[in-house]
Amino acid sequence: MEKKCKLTISILASNRKDTIPKCLESIKPLLEKVDSELIVTDTGCDEDLLKVIGRYTDKIVRFQWCNDFAAARNVGLNMAHGQWFMYIDDDEWFEDVSEIITFFNSEDEKEYDSANYIVRNYYSKEGTEYGEWVAGRIFRIFNNTKFVGKIHEYVPFNPYKMKHLSSYVHHYGYVYETDEQRLAHSERNITLLEKEIEDNPTDARNYAHIYQEYRECKNPEMMLKYAEMAIENADLSVAQNRISIGSTYVAILWALIRMKKYEEAVNRGEKILKNEAISNLTRMTICIYLVEASMQLEEYEKCIEYAREYTIIYKFFMRNKEQYYRQMGPMLNDVLTNRMLFGALLAGIEAAIEIDSYEDICYFLKNYDWTKGWDSNKLECLKKYVDMSFRCGEQKDTVYIYGMLFSDVQCSKVVLNRMQELKDIDGDGYAKICDIIAKIAGQPGYKSLVQIINMCKSGKIEMLSSVYKNAYLDDEKIMLVCDEFYEIAMNYGI
């Protein structure tokens, strides 16, 4: 009889030759530094790949695929000799497993019965945008431990004390070469989920997963159909169902908005927000959809209200990531991203411009890191802010915001170019903005920038060169911004 070990690591291998080697190599430090074993369940690997896997383990078991992920996972679980079980997919690989190693080699491990790690799902091959999903894929093995669910399989257990780990895996499995591949993947999942819902109509978890597939297929009508079924059938006396019902509320709004039923979306969304039992993450996600629907209805005050609430909850979760991870679920896993934040803030700014609310514009501008990325939406947003500044002059936070914008080279260039475009149209407005910029001189390195602006304003071109030479401080960022000021000043001949 084989002796027990601390940890069993299990992988389902399906002939993914481009990712399995990275997956195996990423867990190698775990196998070397933790008392552990690796079991690979082979669902269709060729001989060459099996040889690669064999360099990491001799525990390879063949499984005839039967469209049942739980059955496949249970093969590895039933063979496990570990006190703990951890699984990872063959198209994922860890960035770093040091924290997991520390956990299993410390006394800390004795205090928990489960742990999770983060799955970083990328939206493009470049890997610049991603959403994070907390995967409860590490757990202590008990006599009755087993996987259930033909798809999106999981191990049902009571809410044991769970260790939240910051270790994460890279996952590009949702980046497809063609739309046909994406649709084929979703259609396969939908077939399995429909069978699960037919067999277990009161389980809200299956409904939550089918919403995501219909979102991929861009089929709001079917998403709404299943959401209404979940509202009618889900057994909310079960704790897991009460968690999953938040996905249903979000699915309803997503579907109504895609069907262009904006008024109904706002009415139902506002009714949901009155439900005190919903999680902060559900509330946050509802708010982002209400921002979109309100904007479509030109209800700008509501748009601003919900954009502000989204922003407040966003900042809370950024300070309390563990709370965010605890509340995650299908349809709720991509709302804490830079992309979503910018969408909410941009909508808030546009709505504030429509009702001429300078205070709200400043609020949304202050809550975004303008140095992150660049696109045409940001360009237009900054131009609109400069336009309003010309009209309003100095208001609360104006100096702060211009200081923030001028700390970034690209933002500085956009703002200065727009100032020059408006100079002949509104000379008084131009003078107001120059005075505002002069007040940011108290920030490090801006003395030279202010001098350049003032010389541009007064037309003292002959003095620019000497000021420019003195502007080379020991801060490289300030040097670059000075370059932009000088270049623009000379190009416009001011």
State the residue for tokens 């082979």.
Answer: 42
Residue 449 predicted with pLDDT over 80: no
Q: Residue 480: pLDDT band by 50, 70, 90 thresholds?
A: very low
Q: Provide the pLDDT for residue 493.
A: 46
Q: What is the chain's mean pLDDT, rounded?
A: 85
Provide mean pLDDT across the span 400-428.
79
pLDDT computed for residue 325 by the predictor: 82
3-state DSSP percent of the chain in helix, strand and coil, to 5? 60, 15, 30
pLDDT at position 444 is 43
pLDDT class of 460 with cuts at 50, 70, 90: low
pLDDT of residue 213: 92
Which of 454-461's residues contact partners 24+ apart within 8 Å by CB, and which partners? 455/489, 456/485, 456/489, 456/494, 457/431, 457/494, 459/494, 461/489, 461/490, 461/493, 461/494
Q: What is the phi/psi pair of residue 61, to 5°?
A: -120, 135
Q: Which two tokens stand for residue 60?
A: 């390879």
C-alpha–C-alpha distance, residues 213 and 318, integer Å = 28
Q: Which residue did the predictor score with more confidence, 73 or 412?
A: 73
> Do residues 402 and 440 lie in contact, with contact meaning Cβ atoms separated by under 8 Å?
yes
Please report the DSSP string for 422-471 in residue order: HHTT-HHHHHHHHHHHHGGGGSTT-HHHHHHHHHHHHT-GGGHHHHHHHT
- pLDDT at 372 (0 to 100): 66
**Model confidence at 442: pLDDT above 60:** no
* Most confident region among 48-57, 416-425, 471-480 by mean pLDDT: 48-57
Which is higher by pLDDT, 412 or 79? 79
Q: Quick one: which of 113, 114, 103 has its CA closest to 136?
A: 114
Question: pLDDT tens digit string along 240-285?
Answer: 777 788 999 999 999 999 999 999 999 999 999 998 788 999 999 9
Q: Mean pLDDT across the stretch 11-21?
A: 94
Which amino acid belongs to residue 176?
Answer: Y
Place 229 in a pLDDT band, splitting at 50, 70 and 90: very high
Q: What is the pLDDT of residues 152-203, one digit of tens each?
A: 898 886 556 889 899 999 999 888 888 888 888 889 899 999 999 999 899 8
Query: pLDDT value at position 87?
Result: 97
The mean per-residue pLDDT over the stretch 50-66 comes to: 95
Token look-up 């107001």 returns 432
Cβ neighbors of 306 (< 8 A, separation 6 or more) are: 287, 288, 290, 291, 294
**Spatial contact of 255 and 221, defined as CB atoms under 8 Å apart:** yes
d(CA 257, CA 488): 44
Greater pLDDT, 459 or 28: 28
Range among 13-27, 354-368, 447-461 rated most confident:
13-27
**For residue 62, what pLDDT is reported?**
96
Q: What percent of the chain has pLDDT over 90?
A: 49
* Pairwise pLDDT comparison (410 vs 140), residue with the higher score: 140
Predicted TM-score of the model (pTM):
0.79
pLDDT tens figures, 104-119: 999 989 999 999 999 9
Q: With a cut of 90, say whether residue 439 has pLDDT above it.
A: no
- For 23-32, 138-147, 177-186, 364-373, which range has the lowest pLDDT when averaged over its residues? 364-373
- For the residues 392-403, what does the mean pLDDT come to? 78
As a whole number of angstroms, the distance between CA 72 and CA 79 comes to 12
Contact yes or no for 127/175 (Cβ under 8 A) = no
SS (H, E, C) 263-281: HHHHHHHHHHHCCCCCCHH
Q: pLDDT confidence of 492, banded at 50, 70, 90? A: very low
pLDDT, residue 374, reads: 60
Is residue 309 scored above 80 in pLDDT?
yes
Residue 14 in contact with residue 90, Cβ under 8 Å?
yes
Quote the distance between the C-alpha of residue 441 and its chain's center: 36
- DSSP class of residue 332? S
Q: Are 161 and 113 in contact (CB under 8 A)?
A: yes
Is residue 61 a contact partner of residue 39, using CB atoms and an 8 Å limit?
yes
pLDDT for residue 476 is more than 90: no
Residue 178 confidence (pLDDT): 87
Residue with tokens 């993947």: 185
Banded pLDDT at 380 (limits 50, 70, 90): confident
Q: pLDDT value at position 454?
A: 55
